A and B are shown apart, each in its own frame.
Chain A
Amino acid sequence: MTLPLRQLSPFCWEIPRRGGMRVPGRVYVTEAQLAALSADRALEQVAAVAHLPGIVGASLAMPDIHWGYGFPIGGVAAVDAEGGAVSPGGVGYDINCGCRVITTQLPVDEVRRNTHAIVSRLFATIPTGMGAGSAIPKLSRRELRELMAQGADWAVARGYRAGADDATHCEEGGRLQGAEPEWVSDRALARGADQVGTLGSGNHFLELQHVAEIYDPEAAAAFGLRTGEITLMIHSGSRGLGHQVCDETLHELSRVYERFGADYAALPDRQLACAPIGSELGTRYLGAMQAAANFAWANRQVMTGLAVRAVAEAMGLAEPELGARVLYDVCHNIAKFEEHQVDGQPRRVLVHRKGATRAFGPGDPRVPEAYRAVGQPVLIPGDMGRYSFVLAGNASAMTETFGSSCHGAGRLLSRTAALKHARGRDIERELASRGIEVLARGPRTLGEEMSEAYKDVEDVVDVIAGAGISRKVAKLVPLGVIKG
């Protein structure tokens, strides 16, 4: 299906309202990126999301947009907090899949000669891949429920930390207050019991990086980023527990959502199945989803403690000598109640971000005090062979995108196509020749996740910067990667 598109700016295109769309679609891409989108059905999904009951403003898509389930990856939708609908498909299976950057004061030259030892120690310490478990002892149901109530603080209290202010430097302080751990099923608990502190698989990774370039010295100074110093980046989520919460809700919703009214029955895609926010099912999902989000923060926090320990051991240093601290931690897959300006008026909305990052601008009280003058850190992982970026949120994000930005490079090739490109190549050796040591569960992972499978993340962040939503602060280049 070809959708009509209207260019609003060099970086933004509108899908005008038609049929049952309640709002227009708005896609942040260049003309060249738009042409590439015709290969899948992501634009149709932007239009489909515009049918959600209670949606306000526009159905948005960030420049890393690609085909998802119901929502496109890179999709953002805000619905009225009272009369709107919550859609598990607008959050995704991996609830609070997210990204964290840990800064250190280690100089790259000292670390480079120890890269092999560090990457090996990280790989041995943090379980990766299929059903990876047992980074820490398996948790009981009571312990899991405590963890889901406390989020990142649960792990900090148990000694898994980089600095003293780790949780403060997470979106929402590493804990959503609306979590209802009792509403997380026994099956979800069973899947998550031995997965705290584990990376998972697919595009999840832990990278040893260095700061290669600074674009905004003031913001970089506020964020503690200095050229030539080492950072760690973690990309992971709520593991099997979050998947089970989403799966069970979608299963239940798919059988009943049409009964919520004509607006719901008319949704163009079953994977958009949603429930009124105030309904029993909507309330139950929101409580369980927020508990799973807290699980993800605890997971990344435990990995932070394990990674700092692993790097210190590999370098023969005491942990404090690393000067490690959490720069920030952002959610990629989440729905959160926030206040935004809609049609010039403040309004409480539920913002679905599926493969998108919160990007609040300078002065916002929801940004940690240390960063408030420059805007929220926005962490954008790239692929394992090139680079990642740290951005800062701009004020215009608050008026344009409900304070949202892109979340990564976005896939360019399917896994099958990537494997075809990788055939006959030694990806591990290719990366090594560029000074990047990678350890993964198997060669298939390396083929599926090779650089060419992703868009160049710099092209993606340049759109976000060009549109004024966030600005570039620093470029991080990998030295070593562990993957599932």
Chain B
Amino acid sequence: MRLRHPVPYEELDHTADAGVLVRGDSKEETLGRLVLAYADLVTGGAPLASGADQVIEVEAGDLAGMAVDVLRELLFHFETERWVPESCEVALLDPERGARVVVGTGAYDPVAHTDGLVLKAVTLHAARFEPEGGGWVAAVVFDT
């Protein structure tokens, strides 16, 4: 299932930084929503044009750690290539095998996205990815 920016998410209240919390029916959908919530913080909610797909792969680990690692990769690409995810499809999310995420890239526009936050790092601080009710919940705090 490919999700597209924007998606609903909760902004976490942190004294100095920014965090997001998302929910989904499956863990794959939840990671996809987390990826697009990150995009929304960076763009300030302004629309993104869709571009070519890129594949992000990270090593196996616990779900929260893999989610943080996917976002770390995206942040590095943003810092060096200036794109953010416009769409997202999680092809694999397995603590034994790792994660594989296909993202549709959207070019960052410093004028259109001027209300976006400058995210400098993705932290393990308060990172969570766990079942909740019949679905999943994930949260990440970013250094700003």
Contacts and interface: CB of A to CB of B under 8 A. Distances in A.
B18 A130 contact: no
Interface string B112-123: 011111101111
B110 A130 contact: yes
B120 A411 contact: no
A202 B144 contact: yes
Interface in B110-144: 110, 113-118, 120-125, 141, 143-144
Nearest to B82: A131
A240 B120 contact: yes
B62 to A, nearest CB: 10
Contacts of B143: 69, 93-94, 243
A201 B120 CA distance: 9
Given A187-B76, A251-B72, A444-B44, A243 B18 contact: no
B65 to A, nearest CB: 7
A243 B14 contact: no
Chain A interface size, under 10 / 10 to 19 / 20 to 34 / 35 or more: 35 or more
B48 to A, nearest CB: 15
B116 A130 contact: yes
B61 interface: yes
A328 interface: no
A442 interface: yes
A336 interface: no
B110 A66 contact: no
Nearest to B78: A131
A452 B122 CA distance: 27
A70 B125 contact: yes
Contacts of B86: none
Interface in A159-177: none
Given A247-B72, A250-B124, A414 B80 contact: no
Interface of A: 39-40, 42, 66-70, 73, 93-94, 129-131, 187, 190-191, 200-202, 240, 243-244, 246-247, 250-251, 254-255, 270-271, 411, 413-417, 441-444, 484
Contact of B118 (A42, A130, A255, A413): A130
A60 B120 CA distance: 26
Nearest to A69: B125
A441 B123 CA distance: 25
Given A69-B143, A444-B44, A411 B16 contact: yes
Nearest to A67: B15
A417 B69 contact: no
A191 B124 contact: no
B57 interface: no
Nearest to A202: B144
Interface of B: 11, 13-18, 44, 61, 65, 69, 72, 76, 78-80, 82, 108, 110, 113-118, 120-125, 141, 143-144
B118 A129 contact: yes
Given A131-B82, A444-B117, 20 more contacts: A40-B15, A66-B15, A93-B120, A94-B120, A94-B143, A129-B110, A131-B118, A200-B118, A201-B118, A240-B120, A247-B72, A250-B124, A270-B124, A411-B15, A414-B13, A414-B16, A415-B14, A415-B16, A444-B44, A484-B118
Given A69-B123, A251-B72, A255-B61, A441 B114 contact: yes
Contact of B115 (A40, A417, A442): A442
The 6 closest A-B pairs by CB, nearest first: A201-B118, A69-B125, A442-B114, A67-B15, A93-B121, A414-B13
Contacts of B16: 66-68, 73, 411, 414-415
Contacts of A40: 15
18 contacts: A69-B123, A69-B124, A69-B141, A69-B143, A93-B120, A94-B143, A129-B110, A130-B113, A131-B82, A190-B80, A201-B120, A202-B120, A240-B79, A240-B120, A247-B122, A251-B69, A251-B72, A441-B114
B74 to A, nearest CB: 13
Contacts of A70: 125
A73 B122 CA distance: 17
B2 to A, nearest CB: 27
A67 B14 contact: yes
Contacts of B76: 187, 191, 244
Given A69-B143, A130-B110, A415 B124 contact: no
Contacts of B79: 131, 190-191, 240
A251 B76 CA distance: 14
Contacts of B61: 255
Contacts of A243: 120-121, 143
A98 B142 CA distance: 21
B36 to A, nearest CB: 19
Nearest to A192: B79
Nearest to A254: B124
Given A130-B110, A250-B124, A191 B80 contact: yes
Most buried by B among A68, A130, A413: A130
A348 B127 CA distance: 35
A254 B113 CA distance: 33
A44 to B, nearest CB: 13
A251 B11 CA distance: 24
Most buried by A among B44, B79, B114, B143: B79
A56 to B, nearest CB: 26
Contact of B13 (A68, A73, A130, A416): A416
A271 B125 CA distance: 6
A269 B43 CA distance: 31
Contacts of B113: 130
Most buried by B among A271, A415, A484: A415
Contacts of B18: 415
Nearest to B144: A202
A483 to B, nearest CB: 11
